């Protein structure tokens, strides 16, 4: 066979498949996956230990979390940004296989499930989050919103107040309290609450 005349081009049946992600997102996933693989080798050695993370710009001690859980969590966030709630749920459940004691993962799973109309499953995930950490602000906020949706304003208000008492810097809860009070006709109470928030956070754009 004359190799000079041989067609070395790839056949058309081997075309490159379309990108499932936009270029920037795909690169982000590749970096996240690579970091997870590199860090995964040290996971067993540090299991059960504590580490330091930047949370809201402040260093805070927290327990060590598997890098694989982080990778699935970030993939869930990317899928959710693309409107793929079902895919995000699958990734969060995969993350929980590596970190079943994360209240954040359970809360995020509950929030997405509730948004998709799977309220019972969402409540189960939320119950698990609150069992792991009863004072987790994100879980308390979601519990309040689900109570509002169920037509239980008193229960919602109790959840929001608990959330605000736990973390005064977490603005969604006091803002939800004021909104709920206003809908119930408690205008003065709502105004006092908003004024208190404005004093504590004079430069925050959310207030």
- SS3 assignment, position 109: helix
Residue 27 has pLDDT above 60, yes or no: no
Give the model confidence (pLDDT) of 60-73 as tens digits.
Answer: 666 667 889 989 99
Q: How many angstroms separate the CA atoms of 207 and 199, rounded?
A: 10
- Dihedral of the alpha carbons of 175, 108, 146, 83, in degrees to the nearest 10: 90
Q: How many angstroms separate the CA atoms of 3 and 21, rounded?
A: 39
Give the model confidence (pLDDT) of 133-190 as tens digits.
Answer: 999 999 999 999 999 999 999 999 999 999 999 998 899 999 999 999 999 999 999 9
Which phi and psi (to 5°) does residue 205 adopt? Answer: -65, -15
Residue 156 has what pLDDT?
A: 96
Q: How many angstroms separate the CA atoms of 112 and 118, rounded?
A: 9
Read off the pLDDT of each residue in 46-62 and give the average, rounded to a whole number.
56
CB 140 within 8 A of CB 166: yes
pLDDT mean across residues, the chain: 78
Residue 169 has what pLDDT?
A: 86
Nearest Cα to Cα of residue 129 among 169, 92, 74, 184:
92
Residue 201 has what pLDDT?
A: 73
For residue 3, name the pLDDT band (cuts at 50, 70, 90).
very low
């Amino acid at each position: 066979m004359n190799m000079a005349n041989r067609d070395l081009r790839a056949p058309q049946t081997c075309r490159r498949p379309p990108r499932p992600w936009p270029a920037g997102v795909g690169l982000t996933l590749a970096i996240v996956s690579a970091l997870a693989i590199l860090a995964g080798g040290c996971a067993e050695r540090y299991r059960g230990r504590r580490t330091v993370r930047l949370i809201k710009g402040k260093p805070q001690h927290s327990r060590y979390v598997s890098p694989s859980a982080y990778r699935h969590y970030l993939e869930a966030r990317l899928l959710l940004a693309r409107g793929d709630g079902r895919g995000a749920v699958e990734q969060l459940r995969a993350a929980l296989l590596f970190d079943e004691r994360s209240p954040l993962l359970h809360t995020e799973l509950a929030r997405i499930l509730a948004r998709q109309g799977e309220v019972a499953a969402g409540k189960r995930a939320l119950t698990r989050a609150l069992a792991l950490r009863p004072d987790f602000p994100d879980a308390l906020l979601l519990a309040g919103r689900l109570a509002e949706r169920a037509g239980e304003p008193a229960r919602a208000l109790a959840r929001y107040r608990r959330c605000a008492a736990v973390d005064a810097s977490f603005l969604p809860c006091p803002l939800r309290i004021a909104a709920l009070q206003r809908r119930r006709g408690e205008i003065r109470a709502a105004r006092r609450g908003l004024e208190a928030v404005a004093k504590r956070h004079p430069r925050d754009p959310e207030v």
